[in-house]
Amino acid sequence: MAKYSKKIVDTIITSIMSGKTIKTALKELDISFQTWSNWIGKDSELLNRYHQSKISALDYELSTIKEELNQLCKDSIDPKGVSMARVNAMKLKQGQVQYELSKLMPKTYGTTQQISLNNADNEPLVISWKS
């Protein structure tokens, strides 16, 4: 089991923010996923940093997709400039990022809608039937 250190944790967080997966980041440092899970399970601040680094990485990925889509639009002026494979790859990439964001930030990026009703005292509305 690897020894916890701020330097190792910072390296992992930086790797994730640069777009690497947690699996890759841990493998490069020869740390097991179980060890990492133990670390974030014991340290809520580290868990928050990890969560924020994943969001930052996805935000960066979204900006990359936007740039690629802009280029794709420019290339589409010439019908030979855009292949269907490239269009489909962009759709898959965008769908994957959307899915990951919906899991990390469901209120912002989720596809399901949720309604909550509260009374004047901000208590949930409860409906019951009497028989």
pLDDT grade, residue 122 (50/70/90)?
confident
For range 101-126, the mean pLDDT? 77
pLDDT tens-digit series, residues 16-57: 999 899 999 999 999 999 999 999 999 999 999 999 999 999
Residue 82 lies in a domain: yes
Q: 92 pairs with which residues across the strands?
A: none
pLDDT tens-digit series, residues 78-100: 767 778 788 888 888 888 888 88
Domain span at 11:
6-109
Domain count, the chain: 1
Distance CA 101, CA 92 (A): 14
CA nearest to 65, candidates 103, 21, 100, 95: 95
CATH number at residue 29: 1.10.10.60
Distance CA 44, CA 29 (A): 22
Distance CA 36, CA 53 (A): 15
Residue 118 lies in a domain: no
Distance CA 15, CA 22 (A): 8
